[in-house]
Structure 1
Amino acid sequence: MGKSKALEVPQVTSHNESCGPCLILFLLIKMINKSRGKILGVLALFLVMVWYSIYREDRYTQLFYFPVQENNKTTCPLGEVEKKAAQLIGNYTRDHPLFLQLKDYFWVKTPSLYELPYGTKGSEDVLLRLLSITHYSLPESIQSLKCRRCAVVGNGHRLRNSSMGDTINTYDVVIRLNNAPVHGYEQDVGSKTTMRLFYPESAHFDPRTENNPDTLLVLVPFKPMDFQWMEAILNDKKRVRKGFWKQPPLIWDANPEQVRVLNPYYMEVTAAKLLNLPMKKPRKVKQKPTTGLLAITLALHFCDLVHIAGFGYPDSANKKQTIHYYEQITLKSMAASEHNVSHEAVAIKRMLELGLVRNLTYF
């Protein structure tokens, strides 16, 4: 009796608008009765394909991405960075201040072994003037953290269309480089900036547009002219125009209270310990660390957890692939630079192997 009802076709009348769906239902039931095995087989195959697709995607994620674990805030790996960094960096210590401070050039006059970029020898006078109007401390909001979770955001092309913005914003400290923009790229790179490392040629002419109001603007000094540029800008003196490979901004609207001068010690560590560059005659060595590798080194000296994003370059044979997420500069432009990107890639991969840092975008 149930079967006869299932095969009963509704009458088509002007008052029965549901006749079409009823007819479709009838035909489907009839087809299922005749070929139920085939349909179940197709359904089973479909489910297997869906499972395999999800498995393959998960496997790809495991191989090439290092996602942030949600429990990092509650299970802080205190001491892990120091222990692993000591395996990579000889005489590793956290005793050196992050930023230069006035007392070292006014009261104590701490001698420096090297000239810039690995020391301050010969630049004490201009530093005395510069450090009298800038600051050196970390904000209390960072100092008071029981666990400093840091993200170092590189400028690499791999950040484009990465959708990493929300993840990057969850870190306690977000370190950015040079003039890499945030506005318009928030979905991929986030909007939070705790520190921005830069040198005069890479300074954005209006630092307020791409940073938060409380962002620390950290000068990375490569040469004495960098100190002179900063001191002239902040004291509104006659601008320094010569001695740069590219004209830096002549107007740079920044709050001196947010400006810091990076301790050249970290440039020395990056060059000598990570890139094995000779320190006996550093002026004769043309190779210098990139701001990106320097930023990672800095993070390893004050963070409890270090993740990186947007690092790595295209294959050397790929001359047309852009190297930055925000501009059309290719790897060819790096040929004339003083950076050895291959050596830096080896250094970062060594950090990844040790578990010293984790990568949010594949390297």
Structure 2
Amino acid sequence: MKPNLKQWKQLMLFGIFAWGLLFLVIFMCFTDGNPAEPAPSSFSFLEARRLLPVQGKQRAIMGAAHEPAFPDGAAGNRALLDRADAGPGHQRGWTRAKDGFDNEEDFVPLQNRRKSQSAFYRGEEHVGDSHTAALPGLPRQARGAPRFLPPGERAPSEGAWPAGHGQSRRGRKGPLQRPSPGPEDGDAWDRLSATMSRAFLSRLWKGNVSSKMLSPRLQKARSDYLSTNKHGVRFRGRRGARRTRTELLCELRSRARASTLDGKEAPFAALGWERLVPAVPLSRLHPQGLRSCAVVMSAGAILNSSLGEEIDSHDAVLRFNSAPTHGYERDVGNKTTVRIINSQILTNPNYHFIDSSLYKDVILVAWDPAPYSANLNLWYKKPDYNLFTPYIQHRQRNPNQPFYILHPKFIWQLWDIIQENTKEKIQPNPPSSGFIGIVLMMSLCREVHVYEYIPSIRQTELCHYHELYYDAACTLGAYHPLLYEKLLVQRLNAGPSEDLRRKGRVALPGFRALRCPARAPRPRP
């Protein structure tokens, strides 16, 4: 009897142990998670201000973090101005990031590690090279959170995604390189991204496309932005004007004058900005004008172009935002004369505006979306991103570096001209940084070459040559009226069509080289 009782007790203990082990395995299966995959963020990625915005505060340029806390309003900025002579100690509150980003090579890997959101219209983020606003009617829980691959894990290859699906894709780590087009047109066409057909690209080169040819995702994005009208656009002009190339160039020269804040208008005059902004206006930095200038887009299509030497041969080179040259000299060159930056570059600590060499020893031109009315008081109280505080601090630290803020009136004048020369209604959002930069350099140079604004035969979904982010919206636009901007630039192109196809190069005359008939100033509609 005793042996049986002993065996029964052993069986009971074994059973309890087995059940406990099974429970532990089940518990681990349900609770096991990927430590490299962060939980969904509470802040919406969608505001594309260039990348993305509900009221402009939840956006990021490729996965931006929350903007740092700056002193708000006129009182805070006035205090900064009053401390102008107090020494560098007062800057510590803003430059919380550690030093050590003096070299481009230290900064670039941070950019390459960012995984941007999926493409627009699956209820996720909008991508652009400028500002982007949140789409209406999109539930917050539907917006995805950025996902980073764990170390050593390979992302799906580009060919693993269904053709024409249109979502963003993560590429492999390492140098961003693709097979460059061969000497035969057929080989180059075969490498063309599946999301932009041969026929569409050919028609874009000829200026014969419309929004009806866009994917349903981008058409819906455009429709939603038209309905939202975040910036209060009230266009009173006439659409669809068919000006000749010369008439359009003269219209741009007459109306789109590249103006910057001079500190003489309210509320900036009362805040002492006249002694803060550079003494020499941007338009007078080169009184005799520059002979030849290059505007280098950050598009992924510039990879494997071997255009670096040609780009550096220009008198001046304009680049955008955080686009680096280190490691990409063969394709983009290494000369930088002017850098246009949007307000997120100033406010997002991930871009290390204070520390990075990208923003040193160059002319800086910043901009931020303002209401269509260009009401400076309203804009100062509620900018899309508070660029005013870091601007003050940078000017106090670097008083000899030319650093300007574009006047909102100039930006919306460009928008008016795009809409007037387009039959369709365009997105009621500011033009892209690319278009702003093109017109800015046309006002400073006698000849302007623009690279990969209108895509070449190397066209790809890779948004920026230095970031692993894929989305067709970066080429054709969602937040920005990019498609219509490019159609306008195509009409202005004076270069051979072969340069557009092979190099992605547009040749434009500078305003100084134009011979326009005298005309009375035209009031803004």
Go from structure 1 to structure 2 and tell me whether the alpha carbon gap of 1:266 and 1:144 turns closer, same or farther (over 3 Å shift).
same
The verdict on how the C-alpha distance between 1:189 and 1:202 changes in structure 2, with shifts beyond 3 A counting, is same
Q: Which residue of 1 aligns with 2:260?
A: 99
Equivalent residue number for residue 188 of structure 1: 331
Root mean square deviation, CA, Å: 4.2
Whole-angstrom CA distance in 2 between matches of 1:208 and 1:148: 32
* Match of residue 404, structure 2, among 260, 263, 266: 260
Structure 1 residue 260: Cα displacement: 0.7
Q: Give the secondary-structure state (helix, strand or coil) at the position aligned to 2:369.
A: coil
State the match for 1:69 in structure 2: none
Aligned length: 244
Structure 1 segments (4+ residues) deviating >6 Å: 251-254
> Does the 8 A contact of 1:156 with 1:312 survive in 2?
no
Distance between the aligned counterparts of 1:158 and 1:268, measured in 2?
28
- The question of whether the paired residues in 2 share the 8 Å contact of 1:89 and 1:274 is answered with no
Q: Distance in 1 between matches of 2:454 and 2:345?
A: 19
Counterpart of 2:365, as a letter, is V
Q: Is the 8 A contact 1:300 1:306 kept in 2?
A: yes
Question: 2:416: which partner in 1?
Answer: 272
Q: Deviation at 1:138? A: 3.8
| Structure 2 gaps, min length 5 | 1-182, 189-201, 203-243, 371-378, 506-525
Q: Deviations over 1:266-320 (max 9, x none)?
A: 3233211134389xxx9x96332111011111222231101111213599xx9x8
Distance 1:94 1:329, change over 3 A: same
Q: After superposition, what is the alpha-carbon deviation per residue over 1:149-184, rounded to whole angstroms, capped at 9, x for unaligned? A: 111111111211112112211211211112212222
CA shift for structure 1 position 344: 1.9
TM-score, normalization: structure 1?
0.55
Structure-2 change in CA distance of 1:324 and 1:98 (3 Å): same
CA contact under 8 A between 1:94 and 1:302: conserved in structure 2? no
Which letter does structure 2 place at the counterpart of 1:346? L
Q: Which residue of 286, 295, 305 maps to 1:142?
A: 286
* Alignment counterpart, residue 343 of structure 1, candidates 473, 476, 484: 484
CA contact (8 A) 2:427 2:479 kept: no
In the superposition, relative to structure 1, how do residues 230 and 311 fare at CA in structure 2: closer, same or farther (>3 Å)? same
How far residue 322 of structure 1 moved from its aligned partner, in angstroms, is 1.1
Aligned residue in 1 for 2:364: 217
Matched, 1:304 2:446: yes
Pairing partner for 2:471 from 331, 347, 357:
331
Look up the SS of the partner of 1:125 in the other structure: coil
Distance in 1 (alpha carbons) for counterparts of 2:342 and 2:415: 17
Partner of 1:232: 389
What SS is found at the alignment partner of 2:261? coil
**Code of the aligned partner of 1:100:** L
Q: 1:268 to 1:85 in 2, by over 3 A?
A: farther
1:213 Cα deviation after fit: 4.0
Please state whether the residue corresponding to 1:323 is helix, strand or coil.
strand
Q: Return the offset for 1:230.
A: 3.0
C-alpha contact (below 8 Å) 1:98/1:298 kept by paired residues: no
CA distance in 1 between partners of 2:305 and 2:403 (Å): 31
Structure 2: how far apart are the matches of 1:95 and 1:277?
14
The 2-side partners of 1:290 and 1:95 are apart by 15
Relative distance call for 1:275 and 1:202 in structure 2 (3 A) is farther
Q: 306, 309, 313: which is aligned to 1:170?
A: 313
Q: Which has the larger radius of gyration?
A: 1
Q: Take 1:235 and 1:323, find their aligned partners in 2: how far apart are those partners?
A: 31
> Contact 2:301–2:456 at 8 Å: present in 1 too?
no
Separation in 1, partners of 2:321, 2:357: 11
Q: Work out which of the residue numbers 462, 465, 473 in structure 2 matches 1:322.
A: 462
User: Residue 90 and residue 227 in structure 1: after superposition, are their counterparts in 2 closer, same or farther (change >3 A)?
Assistant: same
Question: How far apart are the structure 2 equivalents of 1:270 and 1:211?
Answer: 27
Counterpart of 2:205? Answer: none
- Contact 2:258–2:440 (CA<8 Å) still a contact in 1? no
Q: Could you tell me which amino acid in structure 2 is paired with residue 206 of structure 1? A: F
Contact kept, 8 Å, 1:207 with 1:254, in 2: the verdict is no
Aligned sequence identity (%): 21
Counterpart amino acid of residue 402 in structure 2: Q
The 1-side partners of 2:255 and 2:482 are apart by: 27
Q: How does 1:106-125 map to 2 (within 5 A)?
A: 124-125=266-267
Task: Identify if the C-alpha distance between structure 1 residues 207 and 295 changes in structure 2 by more than 3 Å, giving closer, same or farther.
Answer: farther
Aligned to 2:297: 154
Instruction: Trace 1:350-361 onto structure 2 (pairs within 5 A).
Output: 350-352=491-493, 361=503
Extract unaligned runs of 5+ from structure 1. Answer: 1-54, 65-82, 106-123, 237-250
